[in-house]
Each structure stands twice: as C-alpha cells, then as structure tokens.
Amino acid sequence: MKKKAGLLLSLTLAASTMLGACGNANKEAGDTKKTSGFKVGMVTDVGGVDDKSFNQSAWEGLTEFGKKNSLKENEDYRYLQSTRDSEYEPNLTKFAEGNYNLTFGIGYLMQEAVEKVADQFPNNQFAIVDSVIDKKNVTSITFKENEGSFLVGVVAALTTKSNKVGFIGGTKSPLIQKFEYGFKAGVKAVNPNIEVVAEYAEAFDKPEKGSVLASAMYGQGVDVIYHASGATGNGVFTEAKNRAKKGTKVWVIGVDRDQHQEGMPENVTLTSMVKRVDVAVAEVAQEMKDGKLEGGKTLEFGLKEEGVGIAPTKDNVSQDAQAKVEEFTKKILNGEIKVPATEEEYKAYEAALKK
C-alpha cells in the first residue's frame, strides 16, 4: 500500500490552542465509555502529550483528523497519557475494551504492550509508531529519520564556527541511532574534519539530564547540538538559552516538530528536523475511518513521501546552507547518496568519503 504523505501536508498545526483546551481533560487515564460512531484513541509514551516533540505531534495529527471529520474530542477521539512504562498495556486495553475502532501506541517503547493487547483483542485494530509488529491487526508506521537528520547535519556543518558539533539522543537504540548516523553523515558530507560528539541521556522525559549533557558539550567547545530526545531535549534548549543570556551564542537543532519557539526569546533554535508524525497518524486514522486500512502493513515515510525534512522556519539558516540542503535533497532522492542508518553503514559511508 503505497501512500503519499505529501497529500496531507496542508494540515495546519494549532498545538498550543489544542493542548491548552484539552490537556486537563485527557491527562488522566479516565473512563473510555462507549459512544456511537467511529472512535480512535492514542496512548502516549512517558514523554507526555505536551513534550513539544514526538507525542505532541501525534496528538496534533489526531486532533486535525478529528476536526476534519467533525468528531467530538473526548468522545470520538482522545488520548491517554502514560507516566511510566507499566501504564502502556492498561491504557491500550482501556481503548480496546471501549471498542475503539483504532488505537495508536506512540513510540517503539510500546512495542511489547501493543503486541500483547493486539493478541488479546484480535478483532480490534492497532497502530504503532516507530516500530514494526508483524500482526494482522497492527499497522506499523516508520520513518527514514536518517534522511531528515542528514539535512540538518548539513546545516550544522555550515553554521559551526568551532568545527565541533554535538548529538544528544534519548535512548541508545537502533531507532535513535538512525538520527545520530544520519546527522553525522550530513556533517561529514560538508566537512569531514568537523568533530561530532554523541551522548545519550537514556531517557525521553528527563529535561535535567538534557541540561547536564548540553552543558558539558557546550563547555567542550561544541556550538551546535542536535537533539533527538523528546522532552529531555527541553533541557538542551534551557542550557542554550541560559548561555545566550550570558553572552555566549550557541545553537540547538530541534526534532520532530518545528521547535523554533522553544529557543525563544533568546533565538537559539538553528533549525529542526521535522518528522511528520502528525501527517502519518492523520492518514492512518482517515484510512481506518474510510474502511481502507489493511492491518498488518508497514508504512514508511521518508524524504520522497515528504515525511521528514527541514522545518519551515529558516530565519537562522543561511542562504548557502539552504542551497546546500536543496542540493543534497536531490542527491538523496535520485539515489546518488544512500544515507546511513546504522553504525555499520556509517563506517562504510565515512570510509568512502576518505577515498
């Protein structure tokens, strides 16, 4: 089933308004009483629906889908927020028992829980983001994060003055390493001599860890940090803004959503790697409502499908960097560059650059 995420890129994001209006009503895993008509639910991971990143993007997509189809929030579509791993399975089960037509598990951390609940409710449909589950009643949604990360790596390389940039990941997992190796590849494509420092917080919900790691990196001379760490990344922005207030200009590259606003008022967001979780969630929900969703499929969104890329806010991206991004985008799309997604692929890529 070949899909074009670009068809839905006209989705408008009204995140702050949506979350302000619905956050309190949804925060607790309350009653999922039966209502008439189509119903779709979403379970967040521990980062929370207001993580300004991954989960928030998913909820924005589901909210836009709900509005487009004149569905009622908290009745026809809603989320349950997980504050710890142990809540994944109970939250998914509540939607299944409530006869929701489709239930989303947001994040690879929910793979085991989705597998268990999908087995317990074989007549229900589920979807998981960032993982692949081979079951007839589960739709797997994946992204080529390495491709989008390559492009922000190009921007970082053309912006750094110290020739030293950094990457902070949530957990050291194959998924987050796709961000790391794609980013490194983009940096090295511009200048193989730039040093890239990588660290992992081992958490997606610990801003304080993000601050500590960012402080250490900036202290070592790094002047651009790309984070792929959910709410942990909020701490990276805090550290960058604190340094800016003291007269030291450093940059943060955001992830998943356009995180320009997170760098304000000190204006420390260089750019962001936008991962259109919102588009994917809305598309899958629409297909389910239209009776077209085929469970057991894996959907992949990359540059070709406009599922990843550079954020639309380009105030801090130089014209030269924007031109280079366009140049490398074409090379990736035409197959001239195969962006590495694993350590093995990155080592081969780096060796080829040195020839």
Point out the least confidently predicted range of 32-36, 48-52, 158-162, 261-265: 32-36
DSSP for 246-293? TT---EEEEEES--GGGGTTTT-EEEEEEE-HHHHHHHHHHHHHTT--
Q: Where are the domains of the chain?
A: 5-143+276-301, 145-274+318-354
Average pLDDT score over the chain: 91
The candidate with the shortest Cα–Cα distance to 353, out of 232, 188, 218, is 188
Mean pLDDT value of segment 299-306: 94
Query: With 70 as the cut, is the pLDDT of residue 164 above it?
Result: yes
- For residue 168, the 8-state DSSP code is E
Which residue did the predictor score with more confidence, 54 or 187?
A: 187
pTM of the model: 0.84
What's domain 5-143+276-301's architecture?
A: 3-Layer(aba) Sandwich (3.40)
Count the alpha carbons within 13 Å of 279 in the hemisphere toward its beta carbon.
Answer: 25
**Cα–Cα dist 243/185, whole Å:** 28
Mean pLDDT value of segment 137-160: 98
CB 77 within 8 A of CB 102: no
pLDDT at 153: 98
User: What share of the chain in percent tops pLDDT 90?
Assistant: 86
pLDDT at 354: 83
pLDDT at 26: 45
Are 5-143+276-301 and 145-274+318-354 the same fold in CATH? Answer: yes
**CATH T-level fold of 145-274+318-354:** Rossmann fold (3.40.50)
**Cα–Cα dist 39/66, whole Å:** 10
pLDDT at 47: 84
Query: With 50 as the cut, is the pLDDT of residue 35 above it?
Result: no
Q: Which residue has the tokens 């997604």?
A: 341
Tokens of residue 215, six digits:
């402080």
Mean pLDDT value of segment 20-36: 44
| Other Cβ atoms within 10 Å of 36 Cβ, number | 7
User: Confidence class of residue 18 from pLDDT cuts 50, 70 and 90?
Assistant: very low
The candidate with the shortest Cα–Cα distance to 222, out of 247, 242, 195, 241, is 195
User: Confidence class of residue 157 from pLDDT cuts 50, 70 and 90?
Assistant: very high
Write down how long the chain is.
Answer: 355
